[in-house]
Amino acid sequence: MNDGDPRAETEIAVFSVLEAGLGDLPLAVSSSQLQQLARLVLLLDEWAKKINLTGHRTPEAMAAGLVLDAAALAAVLPELAGASDIADLGTGAGFPGLPLAILFPDTRFHLVDSRKKRNHFQREARRRLALENVDPVLGRSDELDQVPCDLVVAQAMAEPVRALELMAQWASPLGLLALPASEAADPPRPPAGFAAPELRTYSVPVSGTPRRVWVVPPAD
């Protein structure tokens, strides 16, 4: 890196944020994975200057608010480590799926979103970062051929009960659902074939942002 090079300085700042945050989590992250995560942030920043992909306006904010958020979710979902296929519904630009795909290279991630520009970014990230375990899927989750997955995560794609119903379509018989929960949310009604939701809480390193997620297991 050259002294005084703004892009090099940005890369150093992003790397520092990621290194500090990941060090606070019980995850084994190699130096090559850390570099990949930093490259993902820089690529997102590059694209975000042209199209609206995220509400975070600086690379450091993207690193803390998107990548570390995904890593913190992984830390509270130990089931993720044993999954062979994971669906990320309503993934947007590919979060949390893209960071998770870097952290768990032996797991296949199906990134589902109905917006073309976001799907294009996912494809570019897969190509530029050589993420062969990423499958960007364009379309609505309920109109596609669903892949049975061990874990299904989703963002704000619908109100909770409806979101869980859509997520259940992508779950394998023993699959788990993970849906973000609002601050004062009551437990949502589980879909048919699933047990009562369990609330797990965690915080995002560096920012300290509190998070809550409903984890919905299959019924016994």
- 204: domain CATH number is 3.40.50.150
163 vs 109: CA distance, rounded Å = 19
Q: Strand order in 134-138's β-sheet?
A: 134-138, 108-113, 85-89, 149-154, 171-180, 210-216, 198-203
- Count of CA atoms in the C-beta half-sphere (13 A) of 168: 17
Q: Does 93 fall in a domain?
A: yes
Q: What share of the chain is helix, strand, coil (3-state, %, to 5)?
A: 40, 20, 40
Q: Does 90 fall in a domain?
A: yes
Q: So what's the pLDDT on residue 66?
A: 95
Q: So what's the pLDDT on residue 1?
A: 44
Counting as low any pLDDT under 70, the low residues of the chain are 1-5, 156
Which residue, chain included where needed, has tokens 């609505």?
Answer: 140
Q: Is the pTM of the predicted complex or chain greater than 0.85?
A: yes
Total tally of structural domains belonging to the chain: 1
Residue 26: give the domain boundaries.
6-216
Q: Does 1 fall in a domain?
A: no
Q: Does 156 fall in a domain?
A: yes
